[in-house]
Amino acid sequence: MDFISDPPIPVKIQKMKERVRWRHPSVVSRGIDQTCMVLDDGNSNSPEFSFMVIGDTGTRSQYQYHPQRQIAKLMLEQLDECRFVLHTGDVIYVVGSHEYYPTNFIEPYREFLEGGEKFKTIPYNQMIFKVPILPVLGNHDYYDVPLIPRLFAGTTLLLRRLFRRKDVEIGWHGSYQGDAYAQAFLDYLQAIADQQLEHHLDCYYTGKTSTGRCLRYELGRFTRLPNRYYTFRYGGIDFFALDSNTFNEPSPLPATQEGEIERRELEKHQKQIEQEELQILEVCTQLNPEIPEQAEKLNVLKARLNQIDESKIDIEKQLKPHVCTIDFEQLYWLRDRLIESWNTEEVRGRIIYFHHPPYVTEANKWDQAQTLAVRHNLRTVFDQVSDVLGSLTQGRSIVDLILNGHAHCLEYLRTTDTGHADSNINCIISGGSGHLPRRQRKEGSELMETSQDITGNYKHKVADSLLFIGRNGEATQQRYPYSFVRIDVQDGRPPKFIIRPFIAECFQGEWHNRGLEPFVI
């Protein structure tokens, strides 16, 4: 039985457009750019600033400990020196439901919100930030619950016990195709009456950019994002926030003998993990979360079940007959904005952040078809930008830094000469800020990619993992390091970035906080 579902890409795109009244006549007539915002905190012109990066956070307290809250407390120690927080997605687990925003977001980050001392009274769709948390959508923020599992999750105690792992953070609701995220973070114009829309636009879209008017993000007053993907400029750095959920669809399997062999292998793997899922569910029903040793085992098993969910969805996307849907509108937007950024004198650097990492060594992510799709589509954009810019980049990478989540770890990678314009790029994955950390893959830190030339297929290295912080150890010696990073942006052209990783590690029921040695990229 499938307990979660992922809406089709066209549905995601259309629903999000409706929520922000994409290119409504009142918006167009005012020359408003709905993909741009101004972060109005009085400091955006300073060339030296710091910010934090978190991801994959949206869990509630589990078995008398709360990893997300531990990380939030560590973040509070950095607040005086950091201007904002980037969130790399999966704000709410397991299915992005509005009913979990109070416990899985508002409560752990209450100090970041106006009125946070009374966090239980803050509606999820009326949050006002006093410290900006600027997210992108993760896959879980789009997930929904099919009817039958929804009924199981909401009925008798016996059924709730049987499906205990799904009752942890799945109730009656899913995300409704990302609606909960949109109401929590976006300027939800769909809810504004027609007769009030023009006043709203004139009140809050007062920012000015080279592309027209834009939304003004004002701390303590109006802290909304303009769209599911957007850009803002701070300290001479252009930030690009993307929705990778709409350009991560795998290509259909080819109608060839090789494609048929691959299909049979995928179907075989699908049956294996479904069988493993049933076995784990049976074990889960026999464990008591009130007993510490069993609670820890239950937590690990549930994390494995989440991995199985990811794998099942990835396989289903490949096996299902479909025409590959790619969000070209967003990718063309990114291409054009990167070109414009490189032709703007005041811009000295570029950072992009989105959920699905194109390069990653966390167990089971590198071989996923969605990873390949994201890497291919992003690489195509970079190649197109490079072709236009020519020598303008003066040997620099198209972007200075890529930030991702999705992998439940903290990882620093650097691409090698890939043969494309995504060569020699620094990548940081900050996806270990709340959900149970995962291990690095057994194949190690070198990422090899299969390419093709006139002699046939060959493998070549495309990236190195230079730092990986994830679950490690066995049995009673297992360590669970949760994490976030602080990034200090230095003055200069090109800018330097000081990366400061912070760890809250749970070992044998006790917490130990530590900061790793900072490094410069």
The torsion angles phi and psi of 10, rounded to 5 degrees, stand at: -60, -35
CB of 366 closer than 8 Å to CB of 50: no
Cα separation values, 353 from 9, 92, 398, 453, 498, Å: 20, 18, 14, 32, 17
Residue 366 to residue 422: CA distance in whole angstroms: 17
Task: Give the CA count within 13 Å in the CB-facing half-sphere of 236.
Answer: 17
H or E element at residue 67: helix 67-76
CB 214 within 8 A of CB 298: no
Write the pLDDT tens digit of every residue in 464-486.
999 999 999 987 788 999 999 99
> Does pLDDT of 171 surpass 80?
no
How many residues would you count in the chain?
521
Helix (H, G, I), strand (E, B) or coil at 468: strand
Hey, which CATH number is domain 9-251+324-443+470-520, 2.60.320.10, 1.10.3720.10, 3.40.718.10, 3.60.21.10? 3.60.21.10
Q: How large is the average pLDDT for residues 355-360?
A: 98
Say how many Å lie between the first and final Cα of the chain, rounded: 46
State the pLDDT confidence band at 314, using cuts at 50, 70 and 90: confident
Token pair of 386 as six digits: 């490079």
CB atoms within 10 A of CB 445: 15
CB-hemisphere CA count at 13 Å for 85?
27
Which burial class, exposed, middle or buried, applies to 517 when counting CB atoms under 10 A from its CB (0-12, 13-18, 19+)? exposed
Q: What whole-number distance in Å separates Cα of residue 464 and Cα of residue 417?
A: 11
**Radius of gyration (Cα) for the chain, nearest Å?**
22
Nearest partner of 381 among 362, 402, 355, judged by Cα: 402
What is the pLDDT at residue 166? Answer: 42
**Tens digit of each residue's pLDDT (9 = 90 or more) over 39-62:** 999 999 999 999 999 999 988 766
**Considering only 220-229, 267-276, 297-306, which range has the smallest mean pLDDT?**
297-306
- d(C-alpha 294, C-alpha 305), whole Å: 16
Q: How far apart are CA 190 and CA 181, in angstroms?
A: 14
Pinpoint the alpha helices (H) of 218-291: 257-284
Q: Which tens digits make up the pLDDT trace of 380-437?
A: 999 999 999 999 998 899 999 999 999 999 999 999 999 999 999 999 999 999 988 9
CA–CA dist 391, 388 (Å, integer): 9
Domain-wise residue ranges, the chain: 9-251+324-443+470-520, 259-318
Residues in contact with 30: Cβ distance below 8 Å, sequence separation at least 6, in sequence order = 201, 202, 205, 213
**Rounded Cα gap, residues 93 and 91, in angstroms:** 7
Pairing of strands 510-515, 456-469: unpaired
Burial class (CB in 10 A: 0-12, 13-18, 19+), 510: exposed
**Which pair of tokens denotes residue 135?**
């997210």
Q: What is the 3-state secondary structure (H, E, C) of 241-254?
A: ECCHHHCCCCCCCC
User: Measuring CA to CA, which residue among 260, 377, 254 is closest to residue 325?
Assistant: 377
The string of pLDDT tens digits covering residues 281-302 is: 888 878 877 777 777 777 778 7
User: Which DSSP string do the residues of 84-134 spell out, in sequence order?
Assistant: EEEE-S--STTT--GGGHIIIIITTTGGGBTTGGGGGG--GGG--BSS-EE
Return the closest-CA partner of residue 398 out of 374, 376, 381: 381
H or E, element range at 511: strand 510-515
Least confident of 164-168, 208-212, 249-253: 164-168
Average pLDDT over all residues of the chain: 90
Strands 456-469 and 446-453: what pairing? antiparallel
CA separation for the pair 237, 225 (Å, rounded): 18
Residue 59 pLDDT: 87
Percent of the chain at pLDDT above 70? Answer: 93
User: What is the pLDDT, as a whole number, of residue 150?
Assistant: 46
CA dist., res. 132 & res. 362, Å (int): 29
- pLDDT at 325 > cutoff 50: yes
Whether the bond between 94 and the residue before it is cis, its omega within 30 degrees of 0, is: yes
Q: What is the largest CA-CA distance in the chain?
A: 67
- b/e map of 130-147 (b: 16 or more CB within 10 Å)? ebbbbbbbbbbbbbbbee
How does DSSP classify residue 98? G
| Residues 438, 471 contacting (CB under 8 angstroms) | yes
